Amino acid sequence: MKVVSFSCKIYDRQQLCRSFPPSWDSQTVEPILDKHTVVYAKDADVVSAFVNDQLNAEILQILAGYGVKMVALRCAGFNHVDLAAAHRLGIKITRVPAYSPYAVAEHTIGLMLALNRKLYKAYNRVREGNFALNGMLGFDFYGKTVGVIGAGKIGRLVGERMKAFGCQVLVYDPYECSACEALGLEQVPLATLYQRCDVITLHCPLTAETNHLINADSIAKMKKGVMLINTGRGALMEPESLVAGLKSAQIGYLGMDVYEKEGALFFEDHSCEIIQDDVFERLLSFPNVLVTGHQAYFTQEAITHIAETTRDNIQMFMDGELLLNEVTA
Ligand SMILES: NC(=O)c1ccc[n+]([C@@H]2O[C@H](COP(=O)([O-])OP(=O)(O)OC[C@H]3O[C@@H](n4cnc5c(N)ncnc54)[C@H](O)[C@@H]3O)[C@@H](O)[C@H]2O)c1
């Protein structure tokens, strides 16, 4: 049984070594899976892949040709997989449905607090002996209205926690959220959420419908100076309209853990290179923008759970059992 895991940093490799049975021929590859690296999967039975690995029809076709029968995603989102092609080629796809919704919810709130109270500026100022408070003025979250788009596991945890800050929390989800009422989260139409919220945070999956959900039109419907947070998926936001919204001060704060073109940047050290993505660089130039590199999930609990669930998914496949975490077209 040969398992090749792509996008494996040192911390992934260590965790997979701890979690995968020693009887498996388990190999880890640091680069992302793409047409240049796919060759590492030769003779593998199973490939394990992460968020920015390319699993389009072309790559899946090559994997099938190598004899790969299963792709075990080490992430929840599967927007990067051509499920129809996988089905056609007889490749099973599984995922880790929730590794730690707490990790992502806590990071989301961390971005909100850091942006509001400019903690990223305070860190540098104080270290340089600058204790001046000009430019550091924040606001009380108490009494503000927070909008959560996507009332799933993460969205509800964020909503619950913002309730504890004394916020009113509105949620938008196309499906009825039966758990929301008991948590004190008010389900409203999207237009109402845009109109009433001081803070808007994205927790819906990336689909054809939610692609560029945050664009010039939707930003124009929001309150002036809104705080926007995205720990969902980069392409939920259209980056050029974020730049325009920040320039006009329609957006007062922007926190992002994900970015549409993050595949070319995130999880790698580019500090000695000239970054070619001008829109990304423009976003970083604003004093009221805080970007983290897809680290919201990154807690010990989450990476342990990812590795163990991936192991269980692969074991179920080997044993011919029903794949509980299978995703299909
Ligand atoms: N930054 C990270 O490290 C990280 C880690 C894990 C997950 N995520 C992202 O967070 C997202 C949410 O995760 P989750 O575990 O809460 O998922 P979930 O499936 O529990 O919840 C998603 C919710 O979004 C709703 N939804 C579907 N279409 C929608 C639409 N058009 N508009 C609004 N809501 C819609 C669903 O009904 C569901 O309630 C994932 O899809 C993933 O992209 C990011």
Three-state SS for 223-245 is CCCEEEEECCCHHHECHHHHHHH
pLDDT score of 329 more than 90: no
CA 62-16-270 angle, 5° bins: 70
pLDDT of residue 99: 85
What is the position in ligand 1's atom list of the atom closest to the CA of 210?
31
Q: Is 101 in the pocket of ligand 1 (CB under 6 A)?
A: yes
Q: Is 209 in the pocket of ligand 1 (CB under 6 A)?
A: yes
Q: Give span(s): CATH 3.40.50.720, the chain.
A: 2-99+300-318, 101-291
Identify which of 147, 250, 130, 252 has the alpha carbon closest to the alpha carbon of residue 197: 147
CA distance 242 to 263: 19
CA 165-168-172 angle, 5° bins: 120
Cα of 35 vs centre of ligand 1, distance in Å, is 29
Mean pLDDT of the chain: 97
Residue type, 38: V
CA distance 78 to 55: 9
Q: What is the dihedral of CA 114, 115, 116, 121, to 10 degrees?
A: 80
pLDDT score of 290 more than 90: yes
Does the active-site annotation cover 176?
Answer: no
Q: Locate tokens 């389900």: which residue?
A: 187
Cα of 149 vs centre of ligand 1, distance in Å, is 9
pLDDT score of 121 more than 90: yes
Q: Is 233 in the pocket of ligand 1 (CB under 6 A)?
A: yes
Q: Is 173 in the pocket of ligand 1 (CB under 6 A)?
A: yes
pLDDT of residue 223: 98
Fold of 101-291: Rossmann fold (3.40.50)
Cα of 42 vs centre of ligand 1, distance in Å, is 33
Which strands form 25-28's sheet, in the order they lie side by side? Answer: 25-28, 2-5, 46-49, 70-73, 92-94
pLDDT of residue 34: 97
Q: Is 77 in the pocket of ligand 1 (CB under 6 A)?
A: yes
pLDDT score of 43 more than 90: yes
Does the active-site annotation cover 233?
Answer: yes
**CB contact set of 113 (below 8 Å; sequence gap of 6+):** 119, 141
CA distance 196 to 191: 9
The structure tokens listed for 189 are 């139409």
Let me know: does 233 contact 77? Beta carbons within 8 Å: yes
Confidence bin at 307 (pLDDT 50/70/90): very high
Confidence bin at 77 (pLDDT 50/70/90): confident
pLDDT digits (tens, 9 = 90+) for 265-289: 999 999 999 999 999 999 999 999 9
Work out the average pLDDT over 215-233: 98
What is the CATH number assigned to the segment(s) 2-99+300-318? 3.40.50.720
Let me know: does 149 contact 200? Beta carbons within 8 Å: yes
CA distance 39 to 257: 31
Annotated catalytic residue, options 233, 238, 260, 311? 233
Helix or strand run (H / E) with residue 2: strand 2-5
What is the position in ligand 1's atom list of the atom closest to the CA of 231?
1
Work out the average pLDDT over 163-176: 98
pLDDT digits (tens, 9 = 90+) for 135-162: 999 999 999 999 999 999 999 999 999 9
Cα of 78 vs centre of ligand 1, distance in Å, is 11
Does the active-site annotation cover 305?
Answer: no
Question: Which residue puts its alpha carbon closest to atom 5 of ligand 1?
Answer: 297
What is the position in ligand 1's atom list of the atom closest to the CA of 98?
15
pLDDT score of 311 more than 90: yes
Q: How far apart are the first and last CA of the chain?
A: 26
Confidence bin at 98 (pLDDT 50/70/90): confident
Question: Which residue puts its alpha carbon closest to atom 22 of ligand 1?
Answer: 152
Cα of 173 vs centre of ligand 1, distance in Å, is 10
Confidence bin at 208 (pLDDT 50/70/90): very high
Question: Does residue 82 sit in helix, strand or coil?
Answer: coil
Question: Which residue puts its alpha carbon closest to atom 40 of ligand 1?
Answer: 205
Let me know: does 296 contact 112? Beta carbons within 8 Å: no
Mutate to test the pocket of ligand 1, among 171, 204, 212 (most ligand atoms within 8 A of CB): 204
Other Cβ atoms within 10 Å of 35 Cβ, number: 11
pLDDT of residue 326: 98
pLDDT of residue 294: 95
Work out the average pLDDT over 228-247: 98
Annotated catalytic residue, options 156, 294, 305, 311? 294
